[in-house]
Amino acid sequence: MSDLTTVARPYAKAAFDFAVEQGALQEWHEMLVFAAQVASDDTMQVFLKGAVGRDKATQVFLSVCGEQLNEKGQNFIKVLAANERLNALPAVLETFSSLRADYDNEVSVDVTSAVALSDEQQAKLSAALEKRLARKVKLNCSVDPELMGGLYIQAGDTVIDGTLKSQLTKLSNTLQS
């Protein structure tokens, strides 16, 4: 995946810069989400790797995307196809999303808990994390009953492990040493 990330970065940067210039970040994000889903489809993958030729593959890809792409989005897909980079669309989307989050001063935070968090708990957690990270926070909450209690929070490289399972493991290691 790191190879695709390296390949995708200049395309994502170009799309992002153009979207900012045009004031169309949300529109470009939606187009890239759709195009990445099409590129990730197993049937489309087989077709793109097939022997039908680049031009035919590009036409089919664009016809599948249909009205989901505006003229500039179609041109972007044509550039990717001309350089045989349609398989990099999911990585382009990921990099574009990262650039957009930085631009919006926003961070996506994965929160795992033993039980589902209430709306009030999520609001309090979000406010505390916004203060700590000095950015707008978008919570992605999930439940893992194996944690027994507490929260596991990951925001990029920052990890806060406040789970009961982790605390018990630390206690066990301390008692054994």
Domains and CATH numbers, the chain: 2-101 (1.10.520.20), 106-176 (3.40.30)
Tokens coding 72: 């500039």
CA distance 87 to 127: 38
pLDDT in tens, 132-141: 988 899 999 9
Percentage, residues of the chain above pLDDT 90: 52
Write out 132-172 in H/E/C secondary structure: HHCCEEEEEEEECHHHCCEEEEEECCEEEEEEHHHHHHHHH
CB atoms within 10 A of CB 104: 12
Residues of the chain falling short of pLDDT 70: 1-2, 50-53
